[in-house]
A = this chain, B = another copy of it.
Amino acid sequence: MKNEAITSRDVDFAKWYTDVVRAAKLADYTSVKGCIAIEPNGYAIWEKIQAIMDAKFKELGHVNVQMPFLIPESLFNQEKELIEGFAPELLWATEAGSKKLEERCAIRSTSETLFCDYYKKHIRSYKDLPKLYNQWCNVFRYEKETRPFLRSREFLWQEGHTVHATAEEAERETKQMMEVYRWFNHEILAIPSITGKKTEKEKFAGAEYTITNEDLMYNGVCLQDGTSHYFGQKFSKAYDVKFTNKDNKEEYAYYTTWGKTTRAIAAIIMVHADDYGLVLPPRIAPKQVVIIPIGQDERVNELCNRYKEELTQNGVDCYIDNSDKSPGFKFAEAEVNGIPIRIEVGARDLEKNIITIARRDTREKMTIDLSTDVILYTKGLLEIIQKDMYERAVERRNKLTFEAHNLDDMEKILNTQPGFIHGMWCGDEACENKIKEIKGCKSRCIVEDGKRIDDKCVCCGKEAKYHVIWGIQY
């Protein structure tokens, strides 16, 4: 049953996306321009993202804190590149009660200033290092065009801010946290991201370098989904974060930050969802299995309850849909919400000693004999779905991965079917700017595996220094 509320993905991708967001009740627009209400179905996904990532952060020694959400203007101004990078997007609080504030305050768009200001006060000696702090919070960027989860003025994220006694240790942290994001996308979200350094032009304002996690959407558009920044001593110098090192000398601390946002929910949708609604990879699905009783029957209810209890005991998140809606309505609802597995228990089926299991990703329905170990079967199927979803995403990504050797290639690809475009680059920003003229195509990241697909820059034809992946971005 095709969902009437959802435009076909191949007809109008942008409309399809917002239709899925609404039909799966993930988020809705509000009376606040550019800001969304994250609804229960959407927030439950974010809670699961938080739980899994937070456990990993803590396993690696990080602790959570909470800094203020206001940044006095004078504090922001201490780091020029940061203020320049963020100024156009900053929202300012200027009045309280009926009075003007003595100094206006920016609503945090990122919290480097506040963390540095805190560290300045609390770090004296190398013995105080490293500090491995993270915070889960909301941030605000005054974007012009917005779309739920993808680009919203207010969004939720985690921002890690760590300080170290040596450059080596800080760089290790920068890489390690990108590895966490990579692991999370591949293993949990079933999204085969690629990672690499951003070019100078595309790096975070004020960072020495930025490593990025780039996803490829179903339509071939790229999405930056998790970044890790190495700042060296730059911010420490701007904010005076010093410590006494082992040689008893004063030194500026080495600083890293890394963040991942509710945008991950947009990635899940645009990689996995289909014309029937959301499709959730089992490991991130707040509810992995729905059990639907068909017909009022004691044996049906008994079996539903037994499955629910045993699946729960086995660590599977599941629920029985006992509402007074029709079975057809319940099937459709579970489908549009992306629940990975649906177990249908019907009185007539039971007479034949069978139940029906449907997987959301392929929409296959399977008839299972009651002599089967349903719990084991379901657990196994969840693993299979996770693996299959990942493999289909890899296949799609590979299909939409291209090579360009000159501007003509580039143009042809971008005008036909965009994707990840491998192309060599001389390192000159002028070439990046020229390529950007073709449908806004930007460098996504620099490939660091040493493999070269050509000797010449895809744009100017001069000697190539970097192997870059290019693409159109959200």
Determine how close the nearest CB of chain B comes to the CB of A251; give it in whole angstroms: 21
Closest to A152 in B: B68
Determine how close the nearest CB of chain B comes to the CB of A381; give it in whole angstroms: 26
Determine how close the nearest CB of chain B comes to the CB of A174; give it in whole angstroms: 21
Determine how close the nearest CB of chain B comes to the CB of A27; give it in whole angstroms: 9
Q: Taking the complex as formed, is A87 at the interface, i.e. its CB lies under 8 A from any CB of chain B?
A: yes
Chain A 93-123 near chain B by CB (<8 Å), digits 1 or 0? 1111110000011010000001001100110
Q: Interface segment, A35-43, A194-202, A463-471?
A: A35-43
The answer to whether A31 touches B72 (Cβ under 8 A) is yes
Closest to A66 in B: B38
Q: Taking the complex as formed, is A65 at the interface, i.e. its CB lies under 8 A from any CB of chain B?
A: yes
How far is A91 from B101 in the complex, measured between Cα atoms in Å? 9
Q: Taking the complex as formed, is A28 at the interface, i.e. its CB lies under 8 A from any CB of chain B?
A: yes
How far is A154 from B107 in the complex, measured between Cα atoms in Å? 12
The answer to whether B68 touches A154 (Cβ under 8 A) is yes
Determine how close the nearest CB of chain B comes to the CB of A312; give it in whole angstroms: 14
Chain A 124-164 near chain B by CB (<8 Å), digits 1 or 0? 00000000010001101010000000000010100000000
User: Beyond A65-B38, A138-B138, is A91–B93 a contact (Cβ under 8 Å)?
Assistant: yes
User: Beyond A96-B90, A96-B142, A142-B97, is A70–B154 a contact (Cβ under 8 Å)?
Assistant: yes
- Inter-chain contacts of A64 with B (CB < 8 A): 40, 43-44, 47
Q: Taking the complex as formed, is A438 at the interface, i.e. its CB lies under 8 A from any CB of chain B?
A: no
Closest to A30 in B: B68
- Inter-chain contacts of A69 with B (CB < 8 A): 138, 140, 154
Determine how close the nearest CB of chain B comes to the CB of A22; give it in whole angstroms: 11
Determine how close the nearest CB of chain B comes to the CB of A135; give it in whole angstroms: 8
Closest to A121 in B: B28
User: Beyond A97-B89, A107-B93, A137-B138, is A156–B66 a contact (Cβ under 8 Å)?
Assistant: yes
- Inter-chain contacts of A90 with B (CB < 8 A): 96-97
Q: Taking the complex as formed, is A32 at the interface, i.e. its CB lies under 8 A from any CB of chain B?
A: yes
The answer to whether B70 touches A105 (Cβ under 8 A) is no
Determine how close the nearest CB of chain B comes to the CB of A304; give it in whole angstroms: 19
Q: Taking the complex as formed, is A377 at the interface, i.e. its CB lies under 8 A from any CB of chain B?
A: no
Copies of this chain in its oligomeric complex: 2
Closest to A67 in B: B37
Closest to A102 in B: B33
How far is A131 from B251 in the complex, measured between Cα atoms in Å? 55
Determine how close the nearest CB of chain B comes to the CB of A121; give it in whole angstroms: 7
- Inter-chain contacts of A87 with B (CB < 8 A): 97-98
Determine how close the nearest CB of chain B comes to the CB of A70; give it in whole angstroms: 5
- Inter-chain contacts of A311 with B (CB < 8 A): none
- Inter-chain contacts of A75 with B (CB < 8 A): 31
The answer to whether A97 touches B107 (Cβ under 8 A) is no
Q: Taking the complex as formed, is A63 at the interface, i.e. its CB lies under 8 A from any CB of chain B?
A: yes
Closest to A71 in B: B32
Q: Taking the complex as formed, is A88 at the interface, i.e. its CB lies under 8 A from any CB of chain B?
A: yes
How far is A67 from B28 in the complex, measured between Cα atoms in Å? 10
How far is A248 from B65 in the complex, measured between Cα atoms in Å? 50
- Inter-chain contacts of A117 with B (CB < 8 A): 30-31
Besides A32-B71, A69-B154, 18 more A-B contacts (Cβ < 8 Å) are A30-B67, A30-B114, A32-B105, A37-B65, A39-B65, A40-B63, A40-B133, A43-B64, A43-B66, A69-B138, A70-B140, A87-B97, A92-B93, A92-B94, A93-B107, A94-B95, A107-B107, A138-B138
